[in-house]
A and B are shown apart, each in its own frame.
Chain A
Amino acid sequence: MNEFQTVLMPTLSVRRGAEAIEFYKNAFGAVELMRVADPDGAVVAEMSIDGARFFLADESPAYGNFSPETIGGSTTRMGLFVADPDAAARQAIAAGAIEVYPVADQNYGYRLGRVLDPYGHHWEIAKKIE
């Protein structure tokens, strides 16, 4: 039987990457799996939120990797599906994320709320409801 699981792992471009690693630990209970730091302090890190892996890297505008702060917006939002979106959003806000709108049952079948993190990334924290 084929048990291979196709997975999507976002890589966030940020400024102040080393600081962002600590924020994501506090905000989402993320665990740092790996970190590579350049002499100039720029980092690439692999993180996991309850088994869901993502990466973050200091921006490299020369390669088209922009932090949301640089462009005043973003090209992708972080959708994060969890068992308890209310608790996850509360923790993120307590850690310094800004609530864009509160977690609530949405008419499209998700319980979902949105927060903006200090690095400019929007997180839609959700679970499916029927």
Chain B
Amino acid sequence: MEVIKTAFAPMLIIKDGVAAVEFYKKAFGAIEVIRFSNDDGTIHVSEMSLDGAMFHIRQETKERGDFDPGTINGHTILLELVVEDPHAVHARAVAAGGKEMTPVTDYEHGMRQGQVKDPFGHVWLIEKKLFDHSKNK
């Protein structure tokens, strides 16, 4: 039997889901696994895979409290993306149209991190752990 590993799959609320799918493909090499469209051609929900890490894109419905970050000029959840090569992923996301908030930097707390805001207002902290503090305890 397949062992199911507990994992987060954030569901990003976005006004223009069709554009978002294309952006995440270009920026992160994400794959669209399946799309459920609304009658007007907008995306209801798309399931995406980012090198095996699942996330979803969902159409904004303000009356239900699902807000595009642009609508509220902020966000309620930040996305940390742990990757093998933060420099490459960060550079690709910026080249695809993401806005660099912070460059990839090695921090004393043991993380290599750089932040990108995507064109839809979601903020991604692209990172990897350089060393493990817990091993020194």
A interface, CB within 8 angstroms of B: 2, 4-13, 49-52, 54-55, 61, 64-68, 71-83, 108-109, 120-121, 124, 126-127
Closest 9 CB pairs of A and B: A73-B65, A64-B74, A79-B9, A50-B6, A76-B77, A6-B51, A11-B78, A77-B11, A9-B80
In contact, A75 and B4 (Cβ under 8 angstroms): no
- Residue of chain A at shortest CB distance from B74: A64
User: Which residues 60-81 of B sit at the A interface, judged by CB distance below 8 A?
Assistant: 62, 64-69, 72-81
**Interfacial chain A residues near B121, Cβ < 8 Å:** 75
Q: Return A101 CB to nearest CB of chain B, in Å.
A: 13
In contact, B81 and A8 (Cβ under 8 angstroms): yes
Cα A78 to Cα B6 with chains together (Å): 13
- Residue of chain B at shortest CB distance from A62: B74
**Interfacial chain A residues near B7, Cβ < 8 Å:** 7, 52, 80-81
Q: Return B81 CB to nearest CB of chain A, in Å.
A: 6
Identify which of A52, A71, A74, A109 contacts B8 (C-beta below 8 A): A52
* B106 part of interface (Cβ distance < 8 Å): no
Cα A124 to Cα B12 with chains together (Å): 12
Cα A79 to Cα B78 with chains together (Å): 14
Cα A126 to Cα B11 with chains together (Å): 12
Identify which of B13, B51, B54, B66 contacts A81 (C-beta below 8 A): B54
- Residue of chain B at shortest CB distance from A73: B65
**Interfacial chain B residues near A76, Cβ < 8 Å:** 10-13, 75-77, 79, 122
